[in-house]
Homo-oligomer: A and B are copies of this chain.
């Protein structure tokens, strides 16, 4: 997905928010704003938004000398999500369609997204998303593909959301490899967040190598690319991964909530809609 003009003021807002979390030093925060301002004219609109995000967040880390500004917030989100786990597990166990309920819960976890300029309340969102109609609902295809899959690649998104991903992975009942970012960026899940979320008990964990807040294939490592090419089923969580992979040349199941207008338009759904979308269902996996 290309970068839309609407993304540019959003980059500035994200940069300000992250700079304020990364440091209390107003001079450094101003330096971040000046630097992102200077960068605007050279943003390649043909690139995906998280490719630009990668450069912006790297810049913020350098200027503030804080390479993991969301660490504390991530830890808190994981802790909060873990406290919800037992109740959510029961919700799944009591439901008529366990797999679908687990998918809904995994999508609800996707509201824990600090790259989007919105507040969220995970409990409120859970209530809504457990009942909400899907705007795109490729569930039959998903079940069919799941049944015949022997290897599943699960592209994680945010820390905290990862606890909700664990609940879905438990329902998939297949060998799963859970993929995280190559370095801390916004509140995205890295290896230690996946472990703190208990993913190591239900899946293998690997890093894609991508330093961007998304799976950007030309920034990923070889071993991930090999797995991505060959996996029977790829599940991609969240907006960032969608932005990075919407034009990729293999089947992918996207699970996300459309949290901004640009993504909603691109998916041809409304803001706040939830989506289970398959792309390239006609392509064979190599």
Contacts and interface: CB of A to CB of B under 8 A. Distances in A.
Interface of A: 5-6, 8-9, 12-13, 15-16, 26, 29-30, 33-34, 36-41, 45
A30 B38 CA distance: 13
Given A38-B38, A40-B37, A9 B13 contact: yes
Contacts of A9: 9, 12-13, 15-16, 33
A interface SS class: helix
Nearest to A14: B9
Nearest to A15: B9
Contacts of A45: 30
Given A33-B40, A37-B40, A16 B26 contact: no
A193 to B, nearest CB: 27
A92 to B, nearest CB: 37
Q: Which of A6, A16, A37, A38 has the most CB of B within 10 A?
A: A37
Among A15, A39, A40, find the residue whose CB has the most chain B CB atoms closer than 10 A. Answer: A40
Contacts of A6: 16
A40 B33 CA distance: 7
